[in-house]
Amino acid sequence: MPKKMFVIFGVSNILWMVFAVSQAIKVDMFPDKSKIFAQIGDSVSLTCSATGCESPSFSWRTQMDSPLNGKVRNEGTTSTLIMDPVSFEDEHQYLCTVICGAAKLEKAIRVEIYSFSKDPEIHLSSPPEVGKPVTVTCSVPEVYPFERLEIELLKGNHPMKVQDFLEPSEKKAQETKSLDVTFSPTDEDIGTALVCQATLHIYDDDSPPKVRKTTKELEVYISPKDTAISVNPSTRLQEGDSVAMACTSAGLPAPRILWSKKLDNGNLQLLSENATLTLISMRAEDSGIYVCEGNNPVGKDRKEVKLIVQEKMFTVEISPGPQIAAQVGDSVVLTCDVRDCESPSFSWRTQIDSPLNGKVRREGSKSTLTLSPVSFENEHFYLCTVICGQKKLEKGIQVELYSFPSDPEIEMSGPLVNGNPVTVSCKVPNVYPSDRLEIELFKGESIMMNKIFLEDVSKKALETKSLEMTFIPTVEDTGNVLVCLAQLPIDEMEFEPKQRQSTQILYVNVAPRDTAILVSPSSILEEGSSVNMTCSSNGLPAPKILWSRQLSNGDLQPISENATLSFMSTKIEDSGIYVCEGINQAGISRKEVNLIIQVAPKDIQLTAFPSERVKEGDTVIISCICGNVPPTLIILKKKAETGYIVLKSTGGAYTIHRAQLEDAGVYQCESKNEVGSQLRSLTLDVKGRESNKDYFSPEFLVLYCASALILTAIGMIIYFARKANMTGSYSLVEAQRTKV
Ligand SMILES: *[C@@H]1O[C@H](CO)[C@@H](O)[C@H](O)[C@H]1NC(C)=O
Ligand SMILES: *[C@@H]1O[C@H](CO)[C@@H](O)[C@H](O)[C@H]1NC(C)=O
Ligand SMILES: *[C@@H]1O[C@H](CO)[C@@H](O)[C@H](O)[C@H]1NC(C)=O
């Protein structure tokens, strides 16, 4: 090629030298080159200018005398040939002829055409994969003249192939020339660049060759592989569940993930382009094969997973089930609760189809049956039937009844009295079922009695059951505890309490006894003196004292509840029977005292009627009256040899009919009681009809009528001591006894 160019240069120089030497006039061509390269489509101007000539005339032609395609424009001393656009027809040697007067000058310039307007293009036969041969094509489009073209392909800095296209073009045309290299990329190639460099070796004078370069990053691919699926929570699911499936796939570039579902016809239905596929509220129809595909430009890799979504069976729960122990009278609510059914329908019945005896209420997915108050009619097996769609479920609950509402009641037949039998009853009210009841009675730790009611025919009713026992309490029982324990031990029924108990602390009474009255100073008193009567009584609890006075009809008139009954100054009317009663819960004990208030006898008058001197045969009445003492306390006596003889007197009067001499003598009237005595004496003188013998002894004429008790008593003692010829002392009391 350079050889050819030299030839062209040679011709041009010769022409130029001819004209320059022969003429003084000078012609210049612009561009001032023997040859220019013009690219197809460009605009080229050739300017010819003459110097040293006033009015030159220009003419343009090609050396081959082919037609000029361009337009000529002359302006004074210049002429311009414009070829716009330049095409293959314009490739010529152009001659500009200048005529100036007689002189004729010529200037030549060669225009050569080329086409090299586009950068090379790099194509890969397939996306490059590590280890897989790939053909890289570098093509240079619309190039001319391609025999001057050189294409070089480099990988990074390393040349892979260089090619030129030396066969000359057969016709003037733009062609696309390309270079192919086949190679197998390696891992090291990742990130390197493919460079395609096209060089068109055309030179006008010293300009460099034209170079176009295209660089393409070598993207090395790895086909998707190791595609894996992780399923959370499981591939076996229930209707309504959610599942998340994450898919990963290795490759370069990172594979795009596609999730699809395999349809019945085998086609895939795209679901998501995300790595994680989340399916919520799944239904049975969502069962099937899910496909994850990882793909990138060089391939795809699939993985399948089979999901099984089980149809969810609706459930029925009955509560509180499966059985309930209900206390008679309480309120019981049975609840039938449905899950996983959109519109269930409910119905309630008893197993034996008896009336429900309750209120049914629907609350969303629940139905309640309220038995309030629960009674014996409700002791059934209740069934709740639920229909959901085509399916039907039934759940049952047994309602069992019991009644054990209160603690046992302990009752005593009466107060506890030491030694007296008493009946304790322990009563358990409103119990059911009473045939399961057991009652035990304890005294302290030891059992006294127990009773079961098994033999009782159990009827559906609340019954009151009781245990009774009789025992004899003693004082030692006081403080002990009586326990009544009732048990309803139905193990198969859940209720509380299953036992109840009551306790009672024993307090044993002792009836009043040893009731005693202490009279101070004495129960027989002189009027006006004071007396204290104190009553005491033993018993448990300590008896209460009640003093009463016995009335003449025998009734008691209460006086005082004080132990001591005091009289500061007694009167006769205070005499009588006083009753003291010791009273407590266990009984009454009574004691009585006879209070005697007396006055000492006084104002005794002893008289003889008609006179104390009578004759034999006369009737004489000796009479004794005392101012304050009843006649019964008046004793008439007559002195005899051996002492005094008590006379039979009536109302204090003694009558002597036909008095004898022996009736003469000393008569004495005595009135005495516990508080004193008085004596009166008189001497009856009876004169005989035949004799007048006076046998009255003056010694006995002494009259005693002392008002003072003690003086009288002393007097009497002196008197009796002397006159009765008695030895030593004399007891007034004994004397009275012998004579009363
Ligand atoms: C993919 O996930 C992103 C967020 O993780 C979300 O915004 C997008 O909508 C999802 N696309 C599909 C098709 O599910
Ligand atoms: C009776 O009791 C009172 C008070 O205890 C006492 O002052 C009085 O002396 C008592 N009288 C007699 C007669 O005992
Ligand atoms: C009982 O005794 C109290 C004081 O000990 C006295 O105040 C009261 O009057 C007495 N009652 C009778 C009815 O004697």
Nearest atom of ligand 1 to the alpha carbon of 274: 1
**Does residue 464 line the site of ligand 2, with CB under 6 A?**
no
Confidence (pLDDT) at 735: 38
- Residue closest via CA to ligand 1's atom 1 equals 274
Nearest atom of ligand 3 to the alpha carbon of 562: 1
Domains by residue range for the chain, with CATH: 3-114 (2.60.40.10), 117-217 (2.60.40.10), 222-310 (2.60.40.10), 315-402 (2.60.40.10), 409-505 (2.60.40.10), 510-598 (2.60.40.10), 605-725 (2.60.40.10)
Kindly identify the ligand whose nearest atom is closest to the C-alpha of 525. Answer: 2
Q: Which structure tokens are listed for 178? A: 């390309």
Quote the percentage of the chain above a pLDDT of 90.
45
- Compute the C-alpha angle 650/651/653, nearest 5°: 65
Q: Which structure tokens are listed for 21? A: 């030497």
Amino acid at 247: C
- Residue closest via CA to ligand 1's atom 9 equals 274
> What's the 269 CA to ligand 1 centre distance in angstroms?
17
**Does residue 566 line the site of ligand 2, with CB under 6 A?**
yes
- Residue closest via CA to ligand 3's atom 14 equals 560
Nearest atom of ligand 2 to the alpha carbon of 531: 13
> What's the 273 CA to ligand 1 centre distance in angstroms?
8
> What's the 479 CA to ligand 2 centre distance in angstroms?
40
Compute and round to an integer the Cα radius of gyration of the chain. 82
> What distance in Å separates the CA atoms of residue 639 and residue 719, rounded to the nearest whole number?
12
Q: Tens of pLDDT along 525-546?
A: 888 999 999 999 999 889 999 9
Q: Tens of pLDDT along 451-504?
A: 998 865 667 888 899 999 999 999 899 999 999 999 998 887 888 888 999 999
Confidence (pLDDT) at 698: 34
Q: What is the dihedral of CA 584, 590, 591, 593, to 10 degrees?
A: 100
Nearest atom of ligand 1 to the alpha carbon of 272: 13
Residue 630 has pLDDT above 80, yes or no: no
Quote the percentage of the chain above a pLDDT of 70.
88
CB 671 within 8 A of CB 604: yes
Confidence (pLDDT) at 247: 95
- Residue closest via CA to ligand 1's atom 13 equals 272
Q: Is the pTM of this model over 0.75?
A: no
Which residues are near ligand 3 (CB < 6 Å)?
560, 562
- Residue 398, classified by CB atoms within 10 Å of its CB into exposed (0-12), middle (13-18) or buried (19+), is middle
- Strand extents, DSSP E, 175-255: 175-183, 193-200, 210-217, 222-232, 236-238, 243-252
> What's the 139 CA to ligand 1 centre distance in angstroms?
42
- Residue 492, classified by CB atoms within 10 Å of its CB into exposed (0-12), middle (13-18) or buried (19+), is exposed
> What's the 710 CA to ligand 2 centre distance in angstroms?
25
Average confidence (pLDDT) over 150-178: 87
**Does residue 278 line the site of ligand 1, with CB under 6 A?**
no
> What's the 276 CA to ligand 1 centre distance in angstroms?
9
> What distance in Å separates the CA atoms of residue 448 and residue 38, rounded to the nearest whole number?
141
**Does residue 532 line the site of ligand 2, with CB under 6 A?**
yes
**Does residue 273 line the site of ligand 1, with CB under 6 A?**
yes
| Burial call 142-175: b when 16+ CB within 10 Å, e when fewer | ebbbbebbbbbbbbeeeebbebbbeeeeeeeebb
Residue 128 has pLDDT above 60, yes or no: yes
Nearest atom of ligand 2 to the alpha carbon of 564: 2
Judged by phi (left if over 0) then psi (alpha if -120 to 50, else beta), residue 672 lies in beta
> What distance in Å separates the CA atoms of residue 369 and residue 349, rounded to the nearest whole number?
10
Q: Tens of pLDDT along 409-438?
A: 999 998 889 988 999 999 999 998 888 899
Residue 611 has pLDDT above 60, yes or no: yes
CA 369 → CA 319, 330, 493, 668, distances in Å? 11, 14, 21, 114
CA 566 → CA 145, 173, 705, distances in Å? 170, 170, 36
Confidence (pLDDT) at 456: 58
Q: Which structure tokens are listed for 522? A: 């004495």
Q: What 8-state DSSP symbol labels residue 712?
A: H
**Does residue 274 line the site of ligand 1, with CB under 6 A?**
yes
Q: Which structure tokens are listed for 567? A: 């009289």
Kindly identify the ligand whose nearest atom is closest to the C-alpha of 274. Answer: 1
> What distance in Å separates the CA atoms of residue 236 and residue 231, rounded to the nearest whole number?
10
Instruction: Give the distance, in angstroms, between the CA of residue 19 and the centroid of all CA atoms in the same chain.
Output: 125
Confidence (pLDDT) at 341: 83
**Does residue 522 line the site of ligand 2, with CB under 6 A?**
no
Nearest atom of ligand 2 to the alpha carbon of 529: 13
> What distance in Å separates the CA atoms of residue 133 and residue 183, rounded to the nearest whole number?
5
**Does residue 562 line the site of ligand 2, with CB under 6 A?**
no
Confidence (pLDDT) at 457: 63
Residue 734 has pLDDT above 60, yes or no: no
CB 437 within 8 A of CB 465: yes
Confidence (pLDDT) at 561: 94
Q: To which H or E segment does residue 724 belong?
A: none
Residue 87 has pLDDT above 50, yes or no: yes
Summary mean pLDDT of the chain: 84
Q: What 8-state DSSP symbol labels residue 509?
A: B
Confidence (pLDDT) at 694: 45
Residue 12 has pLDDT above 60, yes or no: no
> What distance in Å separates the CA atoms of residue 484 and residue 442, rounded to the nearest whole number?
6
> What's the 181 CA to ligand 3 centre distance in angstroms?
146
- Strand extents, DSSP E, 444-530: 446-452, 463-471, 481-487, 499-505, 510-520, 524-526
**Does residue 57 line the site of ligand 1, with CB under 6 A?**
no
State how beta strands 57-62 and 92-100 pair.
antiparallel
Q: Tens of pLDDT along 554-572?
A: 999 999 999 999 999 999 8
Q: Tens of pLDDT along 188-246?
A: 888 889 999 999 988 766 667 789 999 998 888 888 999 999 999 999 988 888 999 99
Ligand 1 test: best mutation among 245, 256, 272, 274, most atoms within 8 Å of CB? 274
Average confidence (pLDDT) over 716-726: 42
Q: Tens of pLDDT along 304-362?
A: 999 998 877 788 999 887 888 889 999 999 999 998 888 889 999 998 888 888 999 99
Confidence (pLDDT) at 739: 37
Judged by phi (left if over 0) then psi (alpha if -120 to 50, else beta), residue 709 lies in alpha
> What's the 529 CA to ligand 3 centre distance in angstroms?
20
- Residue closest via CA to ligand 3's atom 13 equals 560
State how beta strands 524-526 and 510-520 pair.
unpaired
The residues near 346 (Cβ < 8 Å, ≥ 6 apart) are: 336, 338, 360, 362, 367, 384, 385, 386
Who has greater pLDDT, 24 or 731? 24
What DSSP line would sit under 259-297, residue for residue? EEEE-TTS-EEEEESSSEEEE-S--GGG-EEEEEEEEET
- Residue closest via CA to ligand 1's atom 10 equals 274
- Residue closest via CA to ligand 1's atom 2 equals 274
Q: Tens of pLDDT along 43-75?
A: 999 999 998 888 889 999 988 888 888 899 998
What DSSP line would sit under 73-141, residue for residue? EEETTEEEEEESS--GGG-EEEEEEEEETTEEEEEEEEEEEEEE-S--EEEESS--BTTB-EEEEEEEE
> What's the 564 CA to ligand 3 centre distance in angstroms?
9
Confidence (pLDDT) at 83: 92
Q: Tens of pLDDT along 278-307?
A: 999 888 889 999 999 999 888 899 999 999
> What's the 309 CA to ligand 1 centre distance in angstroms?
24
What DSSP line would sit under 369-402, residue for residue? EEESS--GGG-SEEEEEEEETTEEEEEEEEEEEE
Amino acid at 26: K
Residue 707 has pLDDT above 50, yes or no: no
Amino acid at 656: I
- Residue closest via CA to ligand 3's atom 4 equals 562
How large is the angle between the packed helices 732-739 and 709-723, nearest 10 degrees?
70
